[in-house]
Chains A and B, each alone.
Chain A
Amino acid sequence: MTKEWVVAKQQSQSGGSKWFYVTIGVVILIGAGWLLTAGRSGGEADELPPLGLAQTTGIEADASAGISIGPDDAVVTIYDFSDYLCPHCREFNSMVGKLLRRNYAVPGGPLRWVSFEFPLNDQSFKGNVASLCAEEQGKFWEMHDMLFARVENWATETNPNGAFIDLAKDIGMDTGDFKSCLNERENVKRILESKQYGVDLGVTGTPTIFINGQPVPRTNQFYSYQGLEEVIQQQTAAAANASE
């Protein structure tokens, strides 16, 4: 081993080490930038996963595509765009949405809740079909809650109709009519309209809610029960003052 060889090797190692740390720094910067912008770019409408049946190109839609509960003249109207396979939609709907609907979206109550189908992929789309088939028997909200609560039963099934029929039985539906509806897929157009309405409003991810027409950022406190309840109470008080 010559002295020159050792010196050259040490210099090479030192240089390599320097470049290594520079590369680490660059990777950290790129990674941090990606994480900071991912929330926005990931939800762009034109970057959504391929939807197959759920393609919305050329569809014209309006708010009638949604399914509502609560009085038409309620002081607070919440539009909810959710996907049945999105974990946060499940959390939001199963806890916050369900409780608010039960407490406030009642006859004479201050809340009207409108649910819009917003499938992010073909599997979710099958859940949307099931929920609208349930609506034909007046069981939309029961099915809506069940699809979220028992998502494990159908999320990974290539043909989840069997799981849907089990859910339909559990909520007291006529499974014969329900099964026909699932196979006919007669509600596809309505799902496409519902999704398109969300796209038109600028919905880029789920869950997204609008309170009296105003979009609410997803990380906002209004995705909590307390936050939404406060809005309902404030709007109710404001409406009462205005009428006096």
Chain B
Amino acid sequence: MPASDSHVSAAVRYRGVSLLALVGLFVSVYLLLYHMGFYGVLACGAGSCETVQASKYAKFLGISVPAWGVAFYGAVFVLALMLQAGRAETSLPGRLLALAALGGLCFSIYLTAIELFVLHAVCMWCVVSAILAVCIFLLVAPWRSLGGKEQEAAA
């Protein structure tokens, strides 16, 4: 019974991750389309989106940050779908998702720090993305799959 409970709990968590990643994917696609010129102005009810998007930090390693977002949320969405369907947390997709969640959290912290301490401008969409990354991290709980051997041994 504990194993079944754990499986159900994991499925629910990964479904949550899938939904959050899907929302993040749309936000990233929106910002990417803005960067590509499909939208003339960002809908930014609060904050300084244009200032942030026009800064040199809007690119990372020569690629626009929204493009990184699309790749990140796209990967998390696919991996979480695989895991919610029953793949083990310690399988390759589980470990990749754990690494992605950890990377997403670190990148979000970096971007938020840049906004707060360097640009002194906050973009509403960046805040949304950072919140999503934190929620994904907490739901994925990377310490479970990255420390999987101990868990498997314990089970």
Q: Decide: B56 and A152 in contact? CB cutoff 8 A.
A: yes
CA distance A37 to B57 in the complex (A): 28
Contacts of A162 in B (CB 8 A): none
- A34-B26 contact, Cβ under 8 Å, with A43-B40, A156-B120: yes
Considering only residues 10-54 of chain B, those with a C-beta below 8 Å from chain A are 11-12, 15, 18-19, 22-23, 25-26, 29-30, 33, 35, 37-45, 48-51, 53-54
Q: Decide: B40 and A218 in contact? CB cutoff 8 A.
A: yes
In the complex, which residue of chain B has the Cβ closest to the Cβ of A41?
B43
Considering only residues 114-133 of chain A, those with a C-beta below 8 Å from chain B are 120-121, 123-124
Q: Decide: A205 and B30 in contact? CB cutoff 8 A.
A: no
In the complex, which residue of chain A has the Cβ closest to the Cβ of B5?
A9
Secondary structure of the A side of the interface? Answer: helix
A68: Cβ under 8 A from any B Cβ = no
Contacts of B23 in A (CB 8 A): 27, 31
In the complex, which residue of chain B has the Cβ closest to the Cβ of A31?
B26
| Binary per-residue interface labels of chain B (47-85) against chain A in the complex, 1 for a CB within 8 Å, 0 otherwise | 011110111101000000000000000000000000010
- A42-B22 contact, Cβ under 8 Å, with A87-B54, A121-B51, A156-B120: no
Which of A16-24, A138-146, A182-190, A235-243 touches B?
A16-24
Interface centre among B11, B30, B40, B58 (most CB of A within 10 A): B40
CA distance A88 to B33 in the complex (A): 11
Size band of the interface chain A makes with B: 35 or more
CA distance A41 to B121 in the complex (A): 23
CA distance A20 to B118 in the complex (A): 41
B1: Cβ under 8 A from any A Cβ = yes
Q: Decide: B22 and A120 in contact? CB cutoff 8 A.
A: no
| Binary per-residue interface labels of chain A (64-95) against chain B in the complex, 1 for a CB within 8 Å, 0 otherwise | 00000000000000000001011110110000
In the complex, which residue of chain A has the Cβ closest to the Cβ of B57?
A156
Q: List 25 A-B contacts (CB under 8 A).
A: A5-B1, A6-B4, A9-B4, A27-B22, A31-B22, A31-B26, A35-B30, A38-B39, A39-B38, A39-B39, A43-B39, A47-B45, A83-B41, A85-B54, A87-B35, A88-B40, A120-B50, A121-B48, A123-B50, A155-B54, A156-B51, A156-B118, A205-B39, A205-B41, A218-B40
Residues in B lying within 8 Å of A, measured CB to CB: 1, 4, 8, 11-12, 15, 18-19, 22-23, 25-26, 29-30, 33, 35, 37-45, 48-51, 53-56, 58, 84, 118-121
